[in-house]
Amino acid sequence: MLPYSAVTPKHVYLNRRRFLGASLAALAASRAAFAAKLTAKKTSYNAGAERITPQKDVTTYNNFYEFGTGKDDPALNAPKWKPNPAWTIRLEGEVMQPKTLAIERIMTLAPLEERIYRHRCVEAWSIVVPWIGFPLSALLSQVQPTSKAKYVAFESVYDPGQMISSRAAGIQFPYVEGLRLDEAMHPLTLLTMGLYGETLPNQNGAPIRLVVPWKYGFKSIKSIVRIRFVENQPPTTWNLSWPAAYGFYSNVNPMREHPRWSQAEELRLGEGSVLRPKYIKTQMFNGYSDEVAKLYSTLDLIKNY
């Protein structure tokens, strides 16, 4: 069974917490201001009466292959990473006004919200997380997509000097993902800068990532540096690596099994015990059917997995 109980001590993953600033010279001054912005408005988006997963489980049991393929590798290795303090995201492709926006500008595009989302991983485990961010649509609307824009392609940072190689990871870097334009613009799709009232730790995708709660976790791409509006369905990392297991849509679907395991149930991290772990039934669209099922009303979701 998954050894999630063997978590990393909190001091290991907090010892190099990252706060953003306009430049190296301004980093110290901006630290308090950025932290203050993470005092987010609570919203009606939540996971019902489900218990929020303990922070230690969410920050020490991760998939982030750039920092290792084991679940505890990111919490051990990612804090050593030194990302550029002047982080930017490039928006380009089928748009009227391509732009490169600094993280400080992105933070002003919409009020920050705290949203408690279920998060289901394709390996059949799940968590409930209080994310902090705002709808991705607020960022995408800055560049006026053209009529040719049908999909949105995302790219993660890749620093070969501080991250492992594609050969060691078994997947190609930089990590790429994609959504249909209507999925990207959906109000549930969150551009995320924090969790549990704090800025994102490196292992959770600092400084900025996506959360798409009705899809398996690997669709929620971390540490974004580039977004392209494109006419055709873009390649995605896990689909390129193993297309029979990882489709483009990757909607949570208990009826569409992974080649190696069933998707009918999931292990809820942080609940139960080693001897009696807690399993729950997986819900279609991860429980967000009322909000998103209409996006796929014409699709066969077994074939379009």
Counting residues of the chain whose pLDDT is more than 90, the rounded percentage is 82
CA angle 162, 165, 166 (to 5 degrees): 140
Q: Which H or E run includes 198?
A: strand 198-199
**With 90 as the cut, is the pLDDT of residue 25 above it?**
no
Counting residues of the chain whose pLDDT is more than 70, the rounded percentage is 87
Give pLDDT, residue 40. Answer: 73
When pLDDT is cut at 50, 70 and 90, the band that residue 18 belongs to is very low
Between CA 151 and CA 142 the distance in angstroms is 16
Residues 180-204 have a mean pLDDT of 97
**With 50 as the cut, is the pLDDT of residue 244 above it?**
yes
Give pLDDT, residue 38. Answer: 64
What are φ and ψ of residue 249, in 5° steps? -75, -50
- Token pair 């430049």: residue: 23
Domains of the chain: 10-117+128-239+289-296 (3.90.420.10)
Measured in whole angstroms, the distance separating CA 64 from the mean position of its chain's CA atoms is 10
Q: Are strands 209-211 and 176-180 parallel, antiparallel or unpaired?
A: unpaired
- Count of other CB atoms within 10 angstroms of residue 268: 20
Model pTM?
0.87
Give pLDDT, residue 217. Answer: 98
Give pLDDT, residue 11. Answer: 38
Give pLDDT, residue 44. Answer: 67
**With 90 as the cut, is the pLDDT of residue 27 above it?**
no
Q: Tens digit of pLDDT for each residue in 107-157?
A: 999 999 999 999 999 999 999 999 999 999 999 999 999 999 999 999 999
* Alpha-carbon torsion, ordered 279, 284, 290, 295, to 10 deg: 150
Residues 11-30 have a mean pLDDT of 36
Whole-number average pLDDT of the chain: 89
Strand, helix or coil for residue 66: helix
Instruction: Judge contact between 30 and 38, C-beta under 8 A.
Output: no
Residues 4-23 have a mean pLDDT of 36
When pLDDT is cut at 50, 70 and 90, the band that residue 3 belongs to is very low
Q: Are strands 99-102 and 88-93 parallel, antiparallel or unpaired?
A: antiparallel
